[in-house]
Amino acid sequence: MRQSQLFTKTTKELPKDETSFNARILIKAGFADKLMAGVYSFLPLGWRVIDKIENIIRGEMNNVGGQEILMPSLQPKEIWKDTDIGPEDEKGWGRMREVMYQLKDKLGRDVGFGATHEEVAIELAKKYTHSYKDLPYAFYQFQTKFRQELRPKSGLIRGREFIMKDMYSFHKDAGELDDYYFKVGEAYKKVFDRTGCKSLMVEASGGSFTKNFSHEFQAISESGEDRIAHCDKCDFAQNIEIYKKDEIKKCPKCGGEIVVSKSIETGNIFRFYDKYTKAMGLYFTDEKGEKKPVHLASYGIGVTRLMGAIVEVHHDERGIIWPEEVAPFKAHLIELSGKNNASVRDAAGKLYNDLKKSGIEILYDDRDAGAGEKFADADLIGCPYRVVVSEKTLKENSVEVKKRNQEGAVFIGLEGVVDKLK
């Protein structure tokens, strides 16, 4: 993409109404824009990152047999009544009443915007699940979720509207569910490794479910809202409440030191077993002709939150340092042509076309801007590679290639650039 065509621009100043690093830098660099507290637009650069993250998740979910669908955001109140966990006289908007956006439409019907989709998923499953032969299966979606947070905070980390990948799996019994649950847990680890946001699988506690039912994935970061106790050598980790109760000093897995760190919750997985399926009447007939409740587990990854978390983990004082698999572009091509140097401009333009033809995603800074501005923007936007074409490099028939996460640059021949970046 030619940077001169990009409708967004970077700014020199940080926005005054954000203090979290991820929001400040993503807005400054033109990846996102805030419309209201906890509600952001994703601009061309940011949307490319979201797309990369989604594709990584999509691949791993497909690997464990997930089938991609899309459920509605707009939901009728009725589907929430049977899974309510509150007192009888408050039954209505159900277990999510505190955080759901709820309204009446023009016909006076109660509708809400989905904060999670277990209820919709079960309604859907009821139409297709009748026999043990129909089980197991899992489906997932990428969707905008709405949650009426009293206080959105930390930029993309806690918003009122955000993109989530949520998957729901349906099983004939608890044992089969458990096996699949941990298989998805492994898939989640791969997702977080690949996005460059390594997250520890932590037993969760608190909330409406006990620790036996759910796990969180936590990425260690100073800007996190959560705290976890974890081994400094292996991947053992505990929720802070459980850690305080157990008072362990050494890692039970490898004997390493236990340290407490702040962390960002990047994902969570829940085993509901037959709790909600029974309540909503999702049953199947087993081999013996007996009616049994379907067992349900659900699995969430906050996609936009993950983008924020990646920025929190991968940056320096000059800007973002995108991990390669989620970078908006693999390389940022900079021409330092001056006004009258057509040969630099031609060489850079040709290189841009060659790289594009080779399938390398490239952001080409063809703007009529000063060298300092171009370098500053390249560091800010944070593509993994920076390629500079200038009078200086052309004298040697070469270009300069520098990795964003390393000091020092190498000069390579014009012909070798495509191979170098492949």
Partner RNA sequence: CGGGGAUUGGCCUAGCGGUUUAGGGCGCCUGCUUUGGGAGCAGGAGACCGUGAGUUCAAAUCUCACAUCCCCGACCA
Contacts to RNA by CB under 7 A: 10-20, 28, 34, 36-38, 85, 95-96, 98-99, 115-116, 147, 149-155, 158, 166, 207-209, 225, 268, 270, 298, 300, 318, 336-339, 368-373, 375-380, 388, 390-393, 400, 402, 409
Report, in Å, the least distance between residue 92 CB and RNA.
15
Report, in Å, the least distance between residue 253 CB and RNA.
27
CB closer to RNA, 18 vs 193:
18
Q: What distances in angstroms separate CA 171 from CA 71, 125, 163, 216, 314, one per listed residue? A: 20, 11, 26, 21, 39
CB closer to RNA, 58 vs 402:
402
Kindly report the CA angle at 85 between 80 and 86, in degrees rounded to 5?
100
Report, in Å, the least distance between residue 383 CB and RNA.
13
Of 8, 52, 6, 5, the C-alpha closest to 26 is 8
Of 267, 235, 239, 240, the C-alpha closest to 252 is 235
Rounded to whole angstroms, how far apart are CA atoms 276 and 173? 14
Rounded to whole angstroms, how far apart are CA atoms 9 and 12? 10
Residue 136 identity (one-letter amino acid)? P
Rounded to whole angstroms, how far apart are CA atoms 67 and 310? 26
Q: Which helix (H) or strand (E) holds 297?
A: strand 295-302
The stretches of 328-411 forming alpha helices (DSSP H) are 342-357, 371-381, 391-395
Report, in Å, the least distance between residue 318 CB and RNA.
5
CB closer to RNA, 303 vs 388:
388
Q: Which helix (H) or strand (E) holds 246?
A: helix 240-246
CB closer to RNA, 325 vs 346:
346
Report, in Å, the least distance between residue 102 CB and RNA.
14
Report, in Å, the least distance between residue 338 CB and RNA.
4
Rounded to whole angstroms, how far apart are CA atoms 17 and 34? 10
CB closer to RNA, 49 vs 378:
378
Q: What distances in angstroms separate CA 418 from CA 1, 176, 293, 409, one per listed residue? A: 16, 48, 57, 16
Report, in Å, the least distance between residue 100 CB and RNA.
10
CB closer to RNA, 189 vs 404:
404
Report, in Å, the least distance between residue 345 CB and RNA.
10
CB closer to RNA, 12 vs 291:
12
Report, in Å, the least distance between residue 146 CB and RNA.
12
- Bridge-based pairing of strands 398-403 and 385-390 is antiparallel
Q: Which residues pair with 315 in a beta bridge?
A: 320
CB closer to RNA, 36 vs 107:
36
CB closer to RNA, 152 vs 349:
152
CB closer to RNA, 34 vs 189:
34
CB closer to RNA, 236 vs 302:
302
User: Strand, helix or coil at 380?
Assistant: helix
Q: What is the dihedral of CA 209, 213, 217, 222, to 10 degrees?
A: 40
Q: What distances in angstroms separate CA 213 from CA 3, 5, 80, 181, 394, one per listed residue? A: 48, 50, 21, 10, 62
Q: How far from each other are the two terminal CA atoms of the chain, in whole angstroms? A: 17
- Bridge-based pairing of strands 66-68 and 101-104 is unpaired
Report, in Å, the least distance between residue 257 CB and RNA.
25
Report, in Å, the least distance between residue 150 CB and RNA.
4
